[in-house]
Amino acid sequence: MVDKKVSFVCTSYRRFYCVKRIVAQYHAQTYENKELIIFNTDMEYPYELGFDDPTIIVVNNDTNYLTGEKYKNRGEICRDAVTHTTGEYFMLADDDDIYLPYHIQQAVDGIIDNGRDAWKPQKSLFATGDRLEFCQNTLEASVIVKMDRIKEIGFREDVTGYEGLSWYTRLRDEGQLKEIHDKYIPSYCFNWSDPAEVAGHKQSGDINNPDNFDNHKQSSGDYCTDPLIPLDKLELDIVYQKYYSFLKSNKKVINKSHYKKYLSPLLK
Protein backbone atom coordinates (compact mmCIF):
# COMPACT_ATOMS: atom_id res chain seq x y z
CA MET A 1 0.00 0.00 0.00
CA VAL A 2 1.42 3.38 -1.05
CA ASP A 3 1.27 6.12 1.56
CA LYS A 4 -0.94 9.05 0.58
CA LYS A 5 0.83 12.20 -0.52
CA VAL A 6 0.95 15.23 1.77
CA SER A 7 1.00 18.69 0.21
CA PHE A 8 2.98 21.07 2.45
CA VAL A 9 1.85 24.55 1.40
CA CYS A 10 3.99 27.64 2.08
CA THR A 11 2.91 31.15 1.10
CA SER A 12 5.51 33.86 1.50
CA TYR A 13 6.44 37.49 0.90
CA ARG A 14 10.01 38.67 1.51
CA ARG A 15 11.05 36.24 4.22
CA PHE A 16 13.84 34.62 2.24
CA TYR A 17 15.76 33.15 5.18
CA CYS A 18 12.54 31.69 6.55
CA VAL A 19 11.76 30.01 3.24
CA LYS A 20 15.28 28.57 3.09
CA ARG A 21 14.59 27.16 6.57
CA ILE A 22 11.24 25.77 5.41
CA VAL A 23 12.94 23.94 2.54
CA ALA A 24 15.48 22.46 4.95
CA GLN A 25 12.70 21.39 7.32
CA TYR A 26 10.80 19.84 4.42
CA HIS A 27 13.85 17.79 3.48
CA ALA A 28 14.26 16.75 7.13
CA GLN A 29 10.76 15.26 7.32
CA THR A 30 10.79 11.50 7.86
CA TYR A 31 7.60 11.05 5.83
CA GLU A 32 8.53 10.33 2.23
CA ASN A 33 5.46 10.83 0.02
CA LYS A 34 5.22 14.61 0.12
CA GLU A 35 5.47 17.78 -1.91
CA LEU A 36 6.25 21.37 -1.02
CA ILE A 37 4.36 24.19 -2.69
CA ILE A 38 6.17 27.54 -2.31
CA PHE A 39 3.84 30.34 -3.38
CA ASN A 40 5.76 33.61 -3.48
CA THR A 41 3.77 36.82 -3.98
CA ASP A 42 6.78 39.13 -4.34
CA MET A 43 7.14 39.56 -8.10
CA GLU A 44 9.91 42.13 -7.71
CA TYR A 45 12.15 39.43 -6.21
CA PRO A 46 10.90 36.09 -7.61
CA TYR A 47 12.17 32.76 -6.30
CA GLU A 48 14.22 30.40 -8.42
CA LEU A 49 15.02 26.95 -7.06
CA GLY A 50 18.80 26.58 -6.87
CA PHE A 51 18.86 22.78 -6.90
CA ASP A 52 16.95 19.91 -8.44
CA ASP A 53 13.97 18.54 -6.52
CA PRO A 54 10.87 17.57 -8.50
CA THR A 55 8.80 17.42 -5.30
CA ILE A 56 9.17 21.18 -4.75
CA ILE A 57 6.93 23.47 -6.81
CA VAL A 58 7.79 27.18 -6.84
CA VAL A 59 5.10 29.62 -7.99
CA ASN A 60 5.77 33.36 -8.30
CA ASN A 61 2.48 35.21 -8.53
CA ASP A 62 0.84 38.30 -7.02
CA THR A 63 -2.46 38.27 -8.94
CA ASN A 64 -5.74 36.72 -7.79
CA TYR A 65 -6.56 33.86 -10.16
CA LEU A 66 -10.29 34.63 -10.01
CA THR A 67 -10.34 38.42 -10.29
CA GLY A 68 -7.11 39.24 -12.10
CA GLU A 69 -6.41 41.89 -9.45
CA LYS A 70 -3.58 42.11 -6.93
CA TYR A 71 -4.11 40.05 -3.80
CA LYS A 72 -5.99 41.79 -0.98
CA ASN A 73 -5.64 39.18 1.78
CA ARG A 74 -3.92 35.90 2.59
CA GLY A 75 -7.07 33.81 2.14
CA GLU A 76 -7.02 34.56 -1.58
CA ILE A 77 -3.36 33.54 -1.69
CA CYS A 78 -3.94 30.25 0.14
CA ARG A 79 -6.86 29.40 -2.14
CA ASP A 80 -4.73 29.89 -5.25
CA ALA A 81 -1.72 28.08 -3.76
CA VAL A 82 -3.84 24.99 -3.11
CA THR A 83 -4.70 24.74 -6.82
CA HIS A 84 -1.09 23.63 -7.41
CA THR A 85 -1.26 20.67 -5.01
CA THR A 86 -1.46 17.01 -6.02
CA GLY A 87 -1.64 15.44 -2.57
CA GLU A 88 -4.48 13.75 -0.72
CA TYR A 89 -3.66 15.64 2.48
CA PHE A 90 -3.10 19.34 3.18
CA MET A 91 -0.71 20.78 5.72
CA LEU A 92 0.17 24.44 6.10
CA ALA A 93 3.83 25.46 6.19
CA ASP A 94 3.80 28.95 7.69
CA ASP A 95 7.11 30.32 6.49
CA ASP A 96 8.40 31.59 9.84
CA ASP A 97 7.50 28.58 11.99
CA ILE A 98 9.31 25.41 13.07
CA TYR A 99 8.38 21.84 12.11
CA LEU A 100 10.23 18.96 13.75
CA PRO A 101 11.23 16.04 11.49
CA TYR A 102 8.35 13.77 12.57
CA HIS A 103 5.73 16.50 12.03
CA ILE A 104 4.21 15.09 8.84
CA GLN A 105 4.62 11.42 9.77
CA GLN A 106 2.82 11.80 13.10
CA ALA A 107 0.03 13.77 11.43
CA VAL A 108 -0.54 11.11 8.78
CA ASP A 109 -0.51 8.38 11.43
CA GLY A 110 -2.96 10.44 13.50
CA ILE A 111 -5.52 11.07 10.77
CA ILE A 112 -5.45 7.42 9.71
CA ASP A 113 -5.85 6.29 13.31
CA ASN A 114 -8.74 8.62 14.18
CA GLY A 115 -10.74 8.02 11.01
CA ARG A 116 -11.74 11.68 10.76
CA ASP A 117 -11.21 14.31 8.07
CA ALA A 118 -8.58 16.11 10.14
CA TRP A 119 -6.12 15.60 13.00
CA LYS A 120 -4.24 18.00 15.24
CA PRO A 121 -2.15 17.71 18.41
CA GLN A 122 -3.89 19.14 21.46
CA LYS A 123 -0.88 21.34 22.20
CA SER A 124 2.02 22.64 20.18
CA LEU A 125 4.97 24.84 21.12
CA PHE A 126 5.25 28.62 21.33
CA ALA A 127 8.62 30.35 21.21
CA THR A 128 9.64 33.92 21.91
CA GLY A 129 13.15 35.29 22.21
CA ASP A 130 13.51 34.25 25.84
CA ARG A 131 11.10 31.37 26.42
CA LEU A 132 9.64 28.17 25.00
CA GLU A 133 6.36 26.73 26.27
CA PHE A 134 3.41 24.50 25.45
CA CYS A 135 0.51 26.24 23.76
CA GLN A 136 -3.09 25.10 23.26
CA ASN A 137 -4.80 27.08 20.52
CA THR A 138 -6.26 26.57 17.06
CA LEU A 139 -2.76 26.77 15.49
CA GLU A 140 -3.94 25.77 12.04
CA ALA A 141 -0.37 24.99 10.93
CA SER A 142 -0.34 22.01 13.30
CA VAL A 143 -3.31 20.37 11.54
CA ILE A 144 -3.52 17.81 8.74
CA VAL A 145 -6.72 17.82 6.66
CA LYS A 146 -8.03 15.74 3.79
CA MET A 147 -7.41 17.82 0.69
CA ASP A 148 -10.91 17.36 -0.69
CA ARG A 149 -12.32 19.02 2.44
CA ILE A 150 -9.92 21.96 2.10
CA LYS A 151 -10.98 22.47 -1.50
CA GLU A 152 -14.64 22.09 -0.56
CA ILE A 153 -14.63 24.56 2.34
CA GLY A 154 -11.91 26.96 1.21
CA PHE A 155 -10.36 29.87 3.09
CA ARG A 156 -11.82 33.05 4.52
CA GLU A 157 -11.08 35.91 2.17
CA ASP A 158 -12.47 38.82 4.16
CA VAL A 159 -9.58 39.51 6.52
CA THR A 160 -5.94 38.42 6.80
CA GLY A 161 -5.24 36.32 9.88
CA TYR A 162 -8.52 34.41 9.95
CA GLU A 163 -8.16 32.59 6.63
CA GLY A 164 -7.80 29.12 8.17
CA LEU A 165 -10.71 29.41 10.60
CA SER A 166 -13.14 28.64 7.76
CA TRP A 167 -12.14 25.01 7.49
CA TYR A 168 -10.92 24.66 11.08
CA THR A 169 -14.20 25.78 12.67
CA ARG A 170 -16.38 23.80 10.31
CA LEU A 171 -14.45 20.57 10.73
CA ARG A 172 -14.39 21.00 14.50
CA ASP A 173 -18.14 21.65 14.62
CA GLU A 174 -18.80 18.61 12.42
CA GLY A 175 -16.84 16.44 14.84
CA GLN A 176 -14.16 15.87 12.20
CA LEU A 177 -11.43 17.65 14.17
CA LYS A 178 -10.82 16.55 17.75
CA GLU A 179 -9.06 19.23 19.80
CA ILE A 180 -8.67 17.44 23.15
CA HIS A 181 -6.66 14.20 23.32
CA ASP A 182 -3.28 12.97 24.53
CA LYS A 183 -2.16 10.85 21.57
CA TYR A 184 0.59 13.14 20.31
CA ILE A 185 3.96 14.71 20.94
CA PRO A 186 4.36 18.37 19.94
CA SER A 187 5.92 18.67 16.49
CA TYR A 188 5.11 22.26 15.52
CA CYS A 189 6.23 25.58 16.99
CA PHE A 190 4.41 28.88 16.60
CA ASN A 191 7.64 30.81 16.35
CA TRP A 192 8.07 34.39 17.59
CA SER A 193 11.76 33.99 18.38
CA ASP A 194 13.33 35.25 15.14
CA PRO A 195 14.96 38.70 15.10
CA ALA A 196 12.99 41.50 13.47
CA GLU A 197 15.07 41.55 10.29
CA VAL A 198 14.12 37.89 9.72
CA ALA A 199 10.54 37.84 10.98
CA GLY A 200 9.45 41.17 9.56
CA HIS A 201 5.80 41.87 10.30
CA LYS A 202 3.81 39.24 12.24
CA GLN A 203 0.33 39.02 10.74
CA SER A 204 -0.93 37.00 13.70
CA GLY A 205 0.16 39.80 16.03
CA ASP A 206 -1.78 42.43 14.08
CA ILE A 207 -4.79 40.29 13.38
CA ASN A 208 -7.60 42.83 13.87
CA ASN A 209 -5.88 45.68 12.06
CA PRO A 210 -7.62 46.37 8.71
CA ASP A 211 -4.18 47.26 7.30
CA ASN A 212 -2.65 43.96 8.42
CA PHE A 213 -2.05 42.63 4.91
CA ASP A 214 -0.43 45.83 3.62
CA ASN A 215 1.60 46.27 6.81
CA HIS A 216 3.11 42.84 6.27
CA LYS A 217 4.21 43.77 2.75
CA GLN A 218 5.69 47.07 3.90
CA SER A 219 7.55 45.69 6.91
CA SER A 220 8.95 42.41 5.59
CA GLY A 221 12.29 43.26 4.03
CA ASP A 222 14.22 39.99 3.73
CA TYR A 223 14.43 40.00 -0.07
CA CYS A 224 15.31 37.04 -2.26
CA THR A 225 18.73 37.84 -3.69
CA ASP A 226 20.01 34.41 -4.81
CA PRO A 227 18.64 31.10 -6.02
CA LEU A 228 16.66 29.36 -3.27
CA ILE A 229 18.65 26.67 -1.45
CA PRO A 230 17.97 25.14 1.97
CA LEU A 231 19.83 25.85 5.17
CA ASP A 232 22.59 23.30 5.57
CA LYS A 233 22.18 20.44 8.05
CA LEU A 234 24.34 22.05 10.73
CA GLU A 235 22.27 25.24 10.67
CA LEU A 236 19.04 23.28 10.90
CA ASP A 237 20.38 21.08 13.70
CA ILE A 238 21.13 24.24 15.69
CA VAL A 239 17.56 25.44 15.10
CA TYR A 240 16.10 22.12 16.23
CA GLN A 241 18.29 21.58 19.29
CA LYS A 242 16.42 23.85 21.71
CA TYR A 243 13.14 22.11 20.85
CA TYR A 244 14.62 18.67 21.42
CA SER A 245 16.05 19.84 24.74
CA PHE A 246 12.72 21.31 25.82
CA LEU A 247 10.81 18.13 24.97
CA LYS A 248 13.40 15.99 26.75
CA SER A 249 13.11 18.14 29.88
CA ASN A 250 9.32 17.77 29.78
CA LYS A 251 9.30 14.06 29.01
CA LYS A 252 7.11 13.27 32.04
CA VAL A 253 4.12 15.17 30.63
CA ILE A 254 4.39 13.82 27.07
CA ASN A 255 2.67 10.70 25.75
CA LYS A 256 5.24 7.96 26.36
CA SER A 257 4.56 5.88 23.28
CA HIS A 258 4.67 8.90 20.98
CA TYR A 259 7.89 10.13 22.59
CA LYS A 260 9.47 6.73 21.99
CA LYS A 261 8.15 6.38 18.45
CA TYR A 262 8.79 9.86 17.06
CA LEU A 263 11.35 11.73 19.14
CA SER A 264 13.65 9.06 20.59
CA PRO A 265 15.09 8.00 17.19
CA LEU A 266 16.20 11.60 16.60
CA LEU A 267 18.08 11.78 19.89
CA LYS A 268 20.39 8.84 19.26
The predicted-structure confidence for 41-73, as pLDDT tens digits, reads as follows 999 999 999 999 999 999 999 999 999 999 999
In this prediction the pTM is 0.95
Task: Give the pLDDT mean for 211-237.
Answer: 84
Whether 85 has a pLDDT exceeding 70, the answer reads yes
**DSSP track, 119-182:** E--S-EEEE-SS-EEEE-S--GGG-EEEHHHHHHH----SSTT-TTHHHHHHHHHTT-S-----
Examine the pLDDT at 206 and tell me if it is beyond 60.
Answer: no
Average pLDDT over residues 223-232: 95
Q: Kindly give the pairing relationship between strand 124-127 and strand 34-40.
A: unpaired
Mean pLDDT of 218-245: 92
Q: pLDDT grade, residue 203 (50/70/90)?
A: low
Q: Name the strand (E) or helix (H) holding 24.
A: helix 16-28
Q: Give the model confidence (pLDDT) of 178-201 as tens digits.
A: 999 999 999 999 999 998 878 765
pLDDT digits (tens, 9 = 90+) for 66-83: 999 999 999 999 999 999
pLDDT classification of 211: cutoffs 50, 70, 90: low
Q: Mean pLDDT of all residues in the chain?
A: 94
Q: Which amino acid is at 146?
A: K
β-strand partners of 126: 133, 190
